[in-house]
Structure 1
Amino acid sequence: MSRNYLKKATPTATTGAPTADVPSIVRNVIDDIRHDGDAAVRRYSDKFDKWMPESFKLSSEDIERIVASVPQQTLDDIRTVQANVRKFAEAQRASLQDFEVEIQPGVFLGQLNNPVATVGAYVPGGRYPLLASAHMTVVTAKVAGVPHVIGCTPPIRGEIPSATVAALHLAGADEIFILGGVQAVAAMAVGTETIRKVDFLAGPGNAFVAEAKRQLFGEVGIDLFAGPTEVLIVADETADPFMVATDLLSQAEHGPDSPAVLITTSEGVGRKTIELCDSLLTTLSTADIARVSWGQLGEVVLAKDVDEAYAIADEYAFEHVQIFTKTPRDALTKMKNYGALFLGPMTCVSYGDKCIGTNHVLPTRGASRYTGGLWVGKYLRTVTYQEVRNAEVSGKLGQLCGRAARAELFEGHARSGDLRAHDHLGDTYDWIKAEERQPPEA
């Protein structure tokens, strides 16, 4: 679909590009930790974070002391946000029902949703202490029924991030490590002398953390292949350009590689938004970051009508999509490709990021075309079971199995079916010899 741009992205060769060979660096770190365990973790923590305490794991006394240092208002806010996340996660869990169905007389098939045993939750802390990620990863895992959750978060400028530790603790983390980057993710994935191996990794991170999760996927499960934050706003002539500009920049401040896009049916709204973004950047404290992402990756597209705006938005398939139109709930049926929808001017992406209760770990880089974000179900293994209690039906299934398997030249499979047809229907087969079915002597 052709696009009419009022502002088009003009990325440079270095926009958001890492200055190092990320895959190679990550591979070496993982290999070293796999080989040297804690010794390698200590080396890399010292190298990357200048952090090498006697123990990376916080004791219960450490946690109690750190939480006590956090302002009461912050603790109250953490509890409120986590209550919102927990309520929504509980509703998600309740929607996943175990069941058993009798598909024909005596044949029972069932499904169970079993939590993984151990989760590693990574909470970033480089540019910003993203303590909200503790709510999203740990609370959701605990609602899913995960017995053991390890939380890892890096030091920030040589200091323990107290509010993040409080968030991890109040969310229900069973162990908390002040450890960051690839060394944290790799240690949880492969296991060391002091950090137990997990079954599943969750949480956002920088390019190195994302690459580590990519390389470790398969050895452990992961939530998502996450990339830079994205925001897209669909607006008609009723939208407030000041609000549009404010919300675009709210996400542009995540990093210099965070695209922010407006698709509007109103040229006036589009041009005023561009003007206001430039104006608001003069007072935004994070303008050094947001100016780069908006300047090089920001786009404003003019659509002929709202339906075309939704169609263009679906082509972008962005992580966050805000709807500022006369009837915002139309987007629920008009759009398909997004990580999360935010409907109407009283809602914003920042609510989803920080406090409203839905999960902010969401698909980026077009991944919303095939997956959703982190939710209770990511921590559950949907497994099945089957039981046949009717002898005649078992025999008939055996006959069917024999025919189906031989059509695919799987003789061993066919014989498993033959045996049930023989036992329950009296069918005879050359390969079944009576003397071979005698019980062994005591």
Structure 2
Amino acid sequence: MEYLKKADVVEQTSSHDVEQTVKSIIENVKAGGDDAVREYEKKFGDSDRPVRVSEEEIEHCIRTLPEEVKVLIDRVVERVSDFAEAQLNCLTPFEKDFGEGIKMGHRIVPIEKVGAYVPGGRFPLLSSGPMVVAPAKVAGAKRIVAASPANYEGGIHPAVLYGLIRSGATDIFAIGGAQAIAAMAYGTESIPEVDIIAGPGNRFVAEAKRQVFGKVGIDLIAGPSEVMVFADDSASPQKIAADLLAQAEHDPYARAILVTTSRTVAEETEKAIEGFLKTFSPSSPAHESWEKRGEIIYADSLQEGLDICNDYAIEHLHLHIKNSRELMDKLNNYGSLFLDEGSSVVFSDKVSGTNHTLPTQKAARYTGGLWAGSYVKVMTHQEITGQGIQFLASHAEDQSEIEGLEGHKLSATVRLT
């Protein structure tokens, strides 16, 4: 393994500073409710509008948004919903006998109140709302509270707002940042308290989700976008370069990484990236992302490349390798896998149907991404009768005696006949 280009990671703000800032915001929102939320919206977003999106705004959005944009968003909602429904159907309630008089099972129950955070970002990302909200709707959530920054002409961008409406959001608030997470976690006079908060965001949003976890559930803590392309000598440097830059342009802190068994592909890809970047806007985050966080890694063998992929546990893993499907069972740590050079990560970002809210920073070692199952509870139950009572009570009595638990032993003993 050899780094032909290694990341030079530079953080803007220390994690301690972010942690303390977010802690203060959460405490103030808990104490001050709507007033505190409005103060932070003025401070961070220069917004003094009402926090709730009104029916009039929604009607105006639907009326004025171009039909061709609505068609695109409707297609995203449909495809994300279809995939979420197929996933949910894999979760099956059951009940069966586990011995005479011992009946056990589980039910699949929707989480009732969902908080959906949809970042504003540099551009109005049409898929962001559907990715977070549509699976909750499919799962059967009764109330879906959506929050997105008011960073477009004093409100939420009409395309983002339309996506939230079409996906099934029941309450929409034009607020962002850590204050939005705090408001949904603890509730305010206007903003309902929820049971789980899902959706990506910046470092302050991610830290806020970490701090409110326990008070509410969260999906995962997702950081800036990550992509790793694993390529052999059959790969196209032009396509690799395009795929790396597509994710690099999300954020200056995004990570775009090439792992390849071909030095020629590595060299030609770096040249292609430099060429493409000359055509990008000077303000594009891709410039800083690639300069400071981009990496090119040469692997001595296919197996070493696979080991690197599994070690990085990257968000998006794209195989530009011939017969890449044959490698799928050897890859265990990734947010989402893209087989062959035709399967662009951009398709998943936009419309293919798999969710683009995925684990970053090696979290793929222990979790997958957001899905319909994130919005349900698997709740077990049991019914013990007849001979089952005698069998289990006898065991529990003996075990409780060994453990010195008098109350447990008593509860078992009184059932023995």
Please classify the TM superposition score into its range, dividing by the shorter chain length.
over 0.9
Q: What secondary structure does 1:192 align onto?
A: coil
Q: Which residue in the other structure is 1:342 paired with?
A: 338
Could you tell me how far apart the structure 2 residues matched to 1:144 and 1:250 are?
31
Amino acid at match of 1:142: K
Provide the alpha-carbon RMSD of the alignment: 1.4
Q: Which residue in the other structure is 1:165 paired with?
A: 161
CA 1:19–1:411 in 2, change beyond 3 Å: closer, same or farther? closer
Q: Which residue in the other structure is 1:211 paired with?
A: 207
- For the pair 1:252 / 2:248, whether they are aligned, the reply is yes
Deviations 1:346-399 (A, max 9, x none): 11111111111001111110110011110111111111000013x232122111
Deviation at 1:286, TM superposition (A): 6.3
CA 1:213–1:286 in 2, change beyond 3 Å: closer, same or farther? farther
Structure 2 unaligned runs (5+)? none
Q: Which residue in the other structure is 1:379 paired with?
A: 375
CA 1:18–1:50 in 2, change beyond 3 Å: closer, same or farther? farther
TM-score calculated relative to the size of structure 1:
0.92
Q: What secondary structure does 1:352 align onto?
A: helix
Count of residue pairs brought into register by the alignment: 416
Q: Which residue in the other structure is 2:145 paired with?
A: 150
Q: Which residue in the other structure is 2:279 paired with?
A: 283
Could you tell me how far apart the structure 2 residues matched to 1:44 and 1:179 are?
9
- For the pair 1:263 / 2:259, whether they are aligned, the reply is yes
Deviation at 1:238, TM superposition (A): 0.8
Aligned mate of 1:327, from 280, 301, 323:
323
Tell whether the 8 Å contact from 1:253 to 1:286 is kept in structure 2 after alignment: no
Amino acid at match of 1:233: V
Amino acid at match of 1:417: A
Deviation at 1:333, TM superposition (A): 0.7
Structure 1 unaligned runs (5+)? 426-442
Deviation at 1:60, TM superposition (A): 2.4
Could you tell me how far apart the structure 1 residues matched to 2:67 and 2:284 are?
32
Could you tell me how far apart the structure 2 residues matched to 1:181 and 1:77 are?
27
Aligned mate of 1:62, from 52, 57, 60:
57
Aligned mate of 1:395, from 390, 393, 407:
390
Tell whether the 8 Å contact from 1:123 to 1:130 is kept in structure 2 after alignment: no
Q: Which residue in the other structure is 1:225 paired with?
A: 221
Compare 303-312 and 263-272 and name the one that shifted more. 303-312
Tell whether the 8 Å contact from 1:50 to 1:158 is kept in structure 2 after alignment: no
Deviations 1:202-228 (A, max 9, x none): 101111111110110000000101111
Q: What secondary structure does 1:406 align onto?
A: helix
Amino acid at match of 1:218: G
Amino acid at match of 1:132: S
Could you tell me how far apart the structure 2 residues matched to 1:374 and 1:385 are?
26
Query: 1:179-218 residue pairs with structure 2 within 5 A?
Result: 179-218=175-214
Tell whether the 8 Å contact from 1:44 to 1:183 is kept in structure 2 after alignment: yes
Aligned mate of 1:99, from 82, 94, 117:
94
Aligned mate of 2:364, from 365, 368, 375:
368
Tell whether the 8 Å contact from 2:101 to 2:387 is kept in structure 1 after alignment: no
Q: Which residue in the other structure is 2:82 paired with?
A: 87
Aligned mate of 2:123, from 124, 128, 135:
128
Q: What secondary structure does 1:246 align onto?
A: helix
Deviation at 1:126, TM superposition (A): 2.9
Amino acid at match of 1:230: E
Compare 334-343 and 391-400 and name the one that shifted more. 391-400
Deviation at 1:411, TM superposition (A): 1.2
Q: Which residue in the other structure is 1:114 paired with?
A: 109
Deviation at 1:283, TM superposition (A): 0.4
Query: 1:1-80 residue pairs with structure 2 within 5 A?
Result: 3-11=1-9, 14-15=10-11, 17=13, 21-53=17-49, 55-80=50-75
- For the pair 1:298 / 2:294, whether they are aligned, the reply is yes
Could you tell me how far apart the structure 1 residues matched to 2:324 and 2:215 are?
42
- For the pair 1:318 / 2:314, whether they are aligned, the reply is yes
Give 4+ residue runs of structure 1 displaced > 3 Å after superposition: 14-20
Could you tell me how far apart the structure 1 residues matched to 2:11 and 2:272 are?
23
Sequence identity of aligned pairs in percent?
Answer: 42
Could you tell me how far apart the structure 2 residues matched to 1:286 and 1:411 are?
72
Deviation at 1:233, TM superposition (A): 0.4
Deviations 1:132-179 (A, max 9, x none): 121111100011111100111111254321100000000010011111
- For the pair 1:137 / 2:119, whether they are aligned, the reply is no
Q: Which residue in the other structure is 2:406 paired with?
A: 411
CA 1:286–1:374 in 2, change beyond 3 Å: closer, same or farther? farther
Compare 145-154 and 326-335 and name the one that shifted more. 326-335
Could you tell me how far apart the structure 1 residues matched to 2:102 and 2:32 are?
52
Could you tell me how far apart the structure 1 residues matched to 2:208 and 2:15 are?
17
